[in-house]
Homo-oligomer: A and B are copies of this chain.
Amino acid sequence: MDLILQGIVQAFQLLVRGDPEMLRVAALSLAVSLGATAISLVLGVASGTAIGLTKFMGRRFLVSLINTGMGSPPVVVGLIVTILLWRNGPLGALGLLYTPFAMVIAQVIISLPIVTGFTIASIQQVDPKLRLQILSLGASRFQMLWLFLKETRLPLLAAVMAGFGAIISEVGASMMVGGNIPGQTRVLTTAIVMETSKGNFALAIALGVILMVLVFLVNMALTIIQQRSRAR
């Protein structure tokens, strides 16, 4: 019991005094996940909008492929990325394995289907007549697209939040492609697993608190966004 109480007390000391190791891990975690989210945002919103607004052969198949991607286990993504980046793998020459870049790649693969899928869903929820209304106000095709995305910005933000929430708390792929190297690729989740298994609860709890706060903020933002977009 003492050990645990002690751990909790120490964790709050680490949090209060801003322990450098703790801050380094949290900063890397944020940098990697925000980077991956930004890439997913650009790729996912663009492709999601294209898929949501147009009709083409195989559209249903593509959408169900994206939905499958939303539910595929991160460890499998980690396995595939590891194989691709393995020193004598197809992209091994780039020397990316066990670097933050590899983690960004894996996290983009995890979050891209989420952002794309959410984007398609939110675009399909908008009244299809809104497109006609915007066109009838004299918008060119490009102006229409821009105004239309502006209208769906709240659900799109929700898409981005959901993607970020998924990868910031992901552990398998980050461990596999990052290698959990202290000071280089150690992120919140991998550090918590490692410190916990070493019985180093103080740091683990401190990192857990940071992770929880981040996830909580994302969830809260998501809830507010969803309520605001429903209120319309």
Chain A residues near B (Cβ < 8 Å) = 1-4, 7, 67-68, 71-76, 78-79, 82-83, 86, 88-90, 165, 168-169, 171-172, 175-176, 179, 188-189, 192-193, 196-197, 199, 201, 204-205, 208, 211-212, 215-216, 219, 223
Bound-state CA distance A75–B204 (Å) is 10
Enumerate chain B residues within 8 angstroms of A205, measured Cβ to Cβ: 79, 83
Given contacts A73-B215, A89-B3, A89-B4, contact A175 B199 (CB under 8 A): no
Given contacts A73-B189, A79-B204, A204-B79, contact A86 B179 (CB under 8 A): no
Report the minimal beta-carbon distance from A121 to chain B, rounded to whole angstroms: 14
Enumerate chain B residues within 8 angstroms of A169, measured Cβ to Cβ: 73-75
Report the minimal beta-carbon distance from A191 to chain B, rounded to whole angstroms: 9
Enumerate chain B residues within 8 angstroms of A79, measured Cβ to Cβ: 192, 196, 201, 204-205, 208
In-complex Cβ contact of A76 among B88, B176, B197, B212 (8 A): B212
In-complex Cβ contact of A196 among B67, B78, B208, B223 (8 A): B78
Q: Is A83's CB under 8 angstroms from B212's CB?
A: no
Q: Is B74's CB under 8 angstroms from A171's CB?
A: yes
Q: Is A176's CB under 8 angstroms from B189's CB?
A: no
Residue ID in chain B nearest A64 by CB atoms: B223
Q: Is A76's CB under 8 angstroms from B1's CB?
A: no
Enumerate chain B residues within 8 angstroms of A193, measured Cβ to Cβ: 75, 78, 172, 175-176
